Amino acid sequence: MTEPTQVAVITGASRGLGLVIARVLANRRYRLVIGGRDRQALEAAADDLSRRAPEVVAVAGDITDAQVRANLVDGARRLGGLDRLVNNASELGPIGPLRSFDVPRLGRLFPVNVGAPLFLMQLAVPLLVERHGLIVNITSDAATAAYPGWGPYGATKAALELLTRTFATELRDQNVSAVLVDPGDMRTRMHQEAFPGEDITDRPLPEVTEPFWNWLFDQDPTNVRGERFVAQQKDARWLQPA
């Protein structure tokens, strides 16, 4: 019997890290559903990925929109199921001390960085159960270290880490796994926004994480359930204490 083609959903896949992950999966012949807010950039990414992947569905829109999330999961369903859900879409917010932080901005950061991934995980569970699938949530070292100026963003990632580990524990008996990945500092648009006007060319491009993604997607999801990884560790020592 022919094995079904694997399917992945990747949010924030129009550029940067999300596009790198999507390319790794495309090279592994996954059918892809990719999301992003910038329709033009997303369509360009879909064209690029279509040269590698058997099929690519692009869903443009804000990840906090319930219809956009539903369209992402429906896209996977139309492609035959879901094996990998990668919650990469994220928002940095303003960098600055907590004493002057505009607290209402949390009303944007938490829905993007915490609420949307949780909603997507909930929507995707029935499909993931069928394939014993894997959820990959992108985190940051800001979740575990008190970096001045990064408090609100770090708080969202800390919340996402706890939810991910809890989700993985709750779904253990249904053979759905979830992991956390800290990709490290990279030369991306979001990182540049954190340092406006500064030269960040000393940071590596997101492609530096490709060896890790190829390793991760080779693993049996049940063997990595609930773990936290750092994608830029040398000598393949990616596993980090949760």
Tokens of 65: 């929109």
- pLDDT tens, residue by residue, 192-221: 566 666 655 666 688 889 999 999 999 999
Known catalytic residues are 153
- pLDDT tens, residue by residue, 43-78: 999 999 999 999 999 999 999 999 999 999 999 999
Count of CA atoms in the C-beta half-sphere (13 A) of 161: 20
Looking at the predicted structure, is the pLDDT value of residue 2 above 50?
A: no
Looking at the predicted structure, is the pLDDT value of residue 19 above 80?
A: yes
Instruction: Tell me what percent of the residues of the chain surpass a pLDDT of 90.
Output: 77
The answer to whether 149 and 98 have CB atoms below 8 angstroms apart is: no
Domains and CATH numbers, the chain: 7-240 (3.40.50.720)
Nearest CA to 21 among 201, 178, 189, 215? 215
Structure confidence at residue 1 as a pLDDT band (50, 70, 90): very low
Nearest CA to 240 among 140, 147, 148? 140
How deeply is 130 buried, as exposed, middle or buried, from its count of CB atoms within 10 A (0-12, 13-18, 19+)? middle
- Distance, CA of 235 to CA of 181 (rounded, Å): 17
